[in-house]
């Protein structure tokens, strides 16, 4: 028998970029910590009832990840809290509108709700593709 201690939880996913959770897997994995999630930056300017999917954007503190670059329904997306510092500076859509539709890998904790939908908080690393 083989056992893995730590890592990406019972599914074994999310422990590395090459094994990152999809947006739908992340939404179904609330409570997982320090996991990689992969998706497309599809929007921002989140509130508890809405999100923007087209520029101009004004918020620097959050983005919305979708399974596809064409995702346009907040309820099927994952909200992302951008921590202050280089991650926020590099990924916010107010300063970087050209990132809309780009694929990104993010490492953080999957939470039950951030702006009314499942989200990713405590982001510690990212990579754009």
Smallest CA-to-CA distance from 94 within 68, 56, 122, 126 is with: 56
Collapse the DSSP code of 67 into the 3-class scheme (helix H, G, I; strand E, B; otherwise coil) and give the result.
Answer: coil
Contact of 3 with 78, CB cutoff 8 Å: no
In sequence order, the β-bridge partners of residue 119 are: 79, 111
Contact of 83 with 12, CB cutoff 8 Å: no
Collapse the DSSP code of 6 into the 3-class scheme (helix H, G, I; strand E, B; otherwise coil) and give the result.
Answer: coil
CA distance 93 to 76: 19
pLDDT at position 12 is 60
Q: What is the longest distance spanned by two Cα atoms in the chain?
A: 54
Question: What pTM was computed for the model?
Answer: 0.90
pLDDT tens track, the chain, 129 positions = 544 444 444 456 899 999 999 999 999 999 999 999 999 999 999 999 999 999 999 999 999 999 999 999 999 999 999 999 999 999 999 999 999 999 999 999 999 999 999 999 999 999 999
Contact of 93 with 55, CB cutoff 8 Å: yes
């Amino acid at each position: 028998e083989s056992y893995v201690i730590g890592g990406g939880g019972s599914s074994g996913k999310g422990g590395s970029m090459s094994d990152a959770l999809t947006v739908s897997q992340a939404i179904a994995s609330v409570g997982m910590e320090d996991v990689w999630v992969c998706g497309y930056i599809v929007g921002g300017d989140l509130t508890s009832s809405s999100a923007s999917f087209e520029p101009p954007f004004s918020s620097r503190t959050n983005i919305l990840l979708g399974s596809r670059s064409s995702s346009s329904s907040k309820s099927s997306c994952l909200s992302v809290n951008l921590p202050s510092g280089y991650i926020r500076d590099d990924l916010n859509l107010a300063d970087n509108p050209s990132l809309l539709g780009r694929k990104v890998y993010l490492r953080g904790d999957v939470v039950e709700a951030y702006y009314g939908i499942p989200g990713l908080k405590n982001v510690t690393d990212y990579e754009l593709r």
